[in-house]
Amino acid sequence: VAYADEGRLMDAIKVYNQMIDQVPSAEALGNRASVYYKMGAYDRALSDYTKAIAILPRSARILTGRGDAHYKKGHYEAALKDYTQAIKVNKLYYYAYSHRANVYRLLKKYSLAQKDYNEALKLNPYLWELLPLNKITMKRRLIILHIF
C-alpha cells in the first residue's frame, strides 16, 4: 500500500502479485485492483475486483471500487448495480452514495442523484467539496441540500 501511496504503482503491483501468488485474499486482490484503477488499467481492475468479490461478496469498498471501474469504462448500469449492492451491504458507506449519485446525474436522473448526494452529505458533511457539482451555483447547491 505504501508504494501505491507514494506513486510507485508498478512496485505496488509487484508486491501484490507476490501476495496473491501466496494467498489470493480479497484484500490483496482489491488493493491490486485499486492500483490498476489508478494506472487506468480498468479491465485489469475489473478482473481483480470481480475475483475479490467472489471471495468476499459483502465488501462495500470492493463493490464500490468495481463500480468505479465500470463507470470509467462507460458501463453505467453495471456501476449502478455495484454501488447499490455496496449500499445494501453497508448503509453508512457514503462513497457508494456519492458515486452512485454521479452516475444518476450523468444519466439525467436528477432527483435520484439529489437523494444520494443528500444521503452522502448526511453521513459525511465534509464531503461537500468532493461532490462534482461544479456547474451548479451556490444557491442551487443550497436548494439541493434543502438549506436555503
Each residue of 128-138: pLDDT tens digit? 655 555 444 44
Q: Half-sphere exposure (CA, 13 Å, Cβ side) for 9?
A: 10
Q: Which three cell numbers stand for residue 100?
A: 452512485
Give the span between the Cα atoms of 115 and 65, in whole angstroms: 21
pLDDT surpassing 90 at residue 2: no
Q: Report, as an integer, the average pLDDT of 76-97.
A: 97
Report the 10 Å Cβ neighbour count for 106.
Answer: 14
Mean pLDDT of 17-44: 94
pLDDT for position 17 = 85
Count of Cβ atoms closer than 10 Å to residue 49 Cβ: 29
Mean pLDDT of the chain: 86
Q: What is the pLDDT of residue 126?
A: 76
Chain-centroid distance of CA 34 in Å reads 10
User: The pTM is what?
Assistant: 0.83
* Res. 8 pLDDT band, cuts 50 70 90: confident
Lowest mean pLDDT among 33-37, 50-54, 62-66, 141-145: 141-145
First and final CA of the chain: distance in angstroms? 42
Position 1 confidence tier, pLDDT thresholds 50, 70, 90: low
What length does the chain have? 148
- pLDDT classification of 5: cutoffs 50, 70, 90: low
Question: What is residue 135's predicted lDDT score, i.e. its pLDDT?
Answer: 46
